[in-house]
Structures are given as structure tokens and as C-alpha cells.
Amino acid sequence: MKRIGMLTSGGDCQALNATMRGVAKGLYNTFEDVEVYGFLEGYKGLIYGNYVKMKPSDFSGILTKGGTILGSSRQPFKLIDEPTPEGLNKVEEMKKNYNKLKLDALVVLGGNGSQKTANRLSQEGLNVIGLPKTIDNDIWGTDMTFGFQSAVDVATQAIDCIHTTACSHNRVFIVEVMGHKVGWITLHAGIASGADIILIPEIPYDIAKVCEALDRRTKQGKGFSILAVAEGAISKEVAALPKKERKAAVAAAAAKYPSVAYEVADKIKEYSGMDIRVTVPGHTQRGGSPDSYDRVISSLFGAEAVELIKNKDFGKLVVMRNNEVTAIPMEESAGKLKYVSPDDSVVKYAKRLGISFGDE
């Protein structure tokens, strides 16, 4: 008899259910006798012992269903050693509930913070397998996370729609794309939708350069322009500040504007007098059905998790490397983010296509 726990943690994405289905199908196909326990609302369920014993039918018909049938919650890693409001030691409670259920393994579908917690549990002696979830594609060690491509599709569609109206009215539009720390979604959706300017956190922008790029388009006879701007885009002046001052400047801007896109719009208006419209697709980028690519990789990731369980090869994070599904030690990835490098070939080729990043 195998007893496997599973949880979905952090911000949701389109392919969480597809991935759980992949794990479950693999488990039921591999082991004669297996019980699957789903912890509710991420690590909260493991801490408080809130779980459901799942049936094979729970995993039927969920391949295309967005969100997560188990629910999710954010559990910031920095709070892991702080007690719960009731004074419970979180790590000890998680170990206790894992042992109470006599689990053979715990499968964690989560992003960076969640994988850090998974690594901690693994170091505490639990048998843990991590599956790389996030729309941001910023987990170190994997070329691809499930959820990313679907989010890129939603953001691309939003920018496509803006394109047609921008063109009709000869307007400049900013579409704000998700990504506070990293710009992968903005970079890919920007290229996919033919954005003229892409601003991401890793390449701080100079507003004069942004306005020059807009001017160039006007001079070429283009009446409209589209900017794809990441939630965490930052100006060169602010990025150059020492950490404390930088944090204060970002907080001051956040108090003044609803979000970064409005700040950029204001700066462009101030600099060039242009009238700008802003669109924020927001959490639509995490919603709806996973696209076909995500359905494929999440199914393969699920199957790899089962292979690791079968081989008792724990403490591993399932990853995609050079188009191959494989696994790496969790500790190699935990605590590191995968940023867009300004020298990334995608950035280089985008620049060659004439896309401005507002930096030169």
C-alpha cells in the first residue's frame, strides 16, 4: 500500500489540476494499492491536518479545468519559523500530520516560496517531490514551469485586442503584464503580440529612451504604439538607488498610482505630452483553461513525479531541461530565482526586431 499526500501552494495557475491528474493517473497505473490524500489550501492543510482522501474519480474531467480542486494559499517562507496564530510550530505540525497519515511521499505543486518550504520539509526527513508551478517561469533549474505558457497566451490575447483598438484610434496603450520580480511573461507576450516597447524589472528603463522610441514610430508614420509593461518594471534612477531608498521610492510610487503601468503612463505624459491609455488584465492571466502545451508538460511532470516515488528518489524537483523532463535535487533550486538576463538571446533578437526595452 502506498499513501501519497499532495498539495497546491502559492498563487494558482491554469495547469494545477492537469498536473494533479497527471500524478494521480501515474500513481493508479503504477501501484496496485494506493491512497491519495489532498491537503486543502496548500501548506495550511498540512499544518492544520485539513485533508480529503481522494478517489480516482476526483481526478476525472479536470485536465482542462483552471484553478485547483484542493484550493491554495500563500505561505511566505520567511514566516515558516513563526508560530501560527494559535501558537503552533508550523514545521512540527506538518511533520506530525505527515506521520499521522503514514505517508510514503508528499508531492508539492508550487512556485519558489513553496519549493523552499518543500526543501525544508525534505531536510527535516520527509519524502518530498516538488513540481514546478508558476505563471512567472522564474523557478531556477527548469527551462519551463507549468502555467507559464497559458499565462503568456492570455496576456498575448489581451494585447492583441488592444492592438486593434489602438490602431483604429491612433493611440498609445500600455498593457500591464504580471510579474513583480521577473519579466518572462511580458517578454514572451510582448513579442507574441507585436508590442513596440517592452519594459521588464531586469532591464531598468529610461523614460527619455521610451519616449524616443515612441517618437521614432510617429516619424515612421505609425499612429499608434503598444507598450507591454511588467508589474515590476523599474526606472534606471530608482534601480540605481541603494536598497533602502529604492524600497522607499517603490512604496511611494505604489501609494500614488494604482499600479506601475499608470506610473509609466504619467511619466510619458509629463515628458512628451502624449495621451496614454492603460489596460491591466491582472488575474485573468492566471485563469481559465491550460493551453495544450501546459497540458502536455503538466502530464509529463506528473508522470515523472510517480517515477521518482517508485524509485524512492526523494528530495527532487521535477524540471524541464533542453526539452527533456528530468529531476534535480531540491536544494539546488531552493531560494534562487530565474531572472531574464539582459543578454538573453530572446532579448537580443527582440531588439534586432526593433523592439525597445527603454534602456538604449
Q: Which of 121, 129, 178, 195 binds ligand F6P (CB under 6 A)?
A: 178
Q: Is 298 in the site for ligand F6P (CB under 6 A)?
A: no
Q: Which stretch binds ligand F6P (CB under 6 A): 174-182, 202-210, 266-274, 308-316?
A: 174-182
277 labeled binding residue? yes
User: Which CB atom, from 51 or from 148, has the smaller least distance to ligand F6P?
Assistant: 148
How far apart are alpha carbons 113 and 126 in whole angstroms? 18
Residues of this chain, 8-67, that bind ligand F6P according to CB under 6 A: 11
Three-state DSSP state, 75:
coil
225 labeled binding residue? no
All three cell numbers of 213, joined, read 522610441
Neighbours of 113 (CB within 10 A): 22
How far apart are alpha carbons 225 and 198 in whole angstroms? 11
At 156, the amino acid letter reads T
Tell the smallest beta-carbon distance from residue 231 to ligand F6P (Å): 5
At 184, the amino acid letter reads W
How many residues of this chain interact with ligand F6P, rule: CB under 6 A?
10
- Contact indicator for 71, 104 with CB cutoff of 8 Å: no
Dihedral angle over CA of 300, 302, 304, 306, nearest 10: -150
User: Which CB atom, from 26 or from 132, has the smaller least distance to ligand F6P?
Assistant: 132
User: Which CB atom, from 134 or from 225, has the smaller least distance to ligand F6P?
Assistant: 134
All three cell numbers of 230, joined, read 511588467
All three cell numbers of 54, joined, read 481522494
Tell the smallest beta-carbon distance from residue 337 to ligand F6P (Å): 11
Q: Which of 27, 63, 106, 135 binds ligand F6P (CB under 6 A)?
A: 135
282 labeled binding residue? no
DSSP strand pairing (128-132 vs 34-39): unpaired
State the binding string over 256-295 for ligand F6P (x if CB under 6 A, else -). Answer: ------------------------------x---------
User: Which CB atom, from 231 or from 294, has the smaller least distance to ligand F6P?
Assistant: 231
How far apart are alpha carbons 236 and 111 in whole angstroms? 28
113 labeled binding residue? yes
Known catalytic residues?
136
- Contact indicator for 169, 321 with CB cutoff of 8 Å: no
Which residue is at the shortest CB distance from ligand F6P?
A: 178
Report which of 138, 172, 167, 134 is spatially closest to residue 268, judged by C-alpha positions.
172
Q: Which of 19, 114, 119, 134 binds ligand F6P (CB under 6 A)?
A: 134
Residue 258 is given by DSSP the state S
How far apart are alpha carbons 15 and 135 in whole angstroms? 10
Backbone angles phi and psi of 356, in degrees to 5: -95, 140
Three-state DSSP state, 332:
helix
Residues of this chain, 225-244, that bind ligand F6P according to CB under 6 A: 231
Residues of this chain, 326-355, that bind ligand F6P according to CB under 6 A: none
Tell the smallest beta-carbon distance from residue 58 to ligand F6P (Å): 25
Tell the smallest beta-carbon distance from residue 328 to ligand F6P (Å): 21
Tell the smallest beta-carbon distance from residue 208 to ligand F6P (Å): 27
328 labeled binding residue? no
The site for ligand F6P (CB under 6 A) is made up of 11, 111, 134-136, 178-180, 231, 286
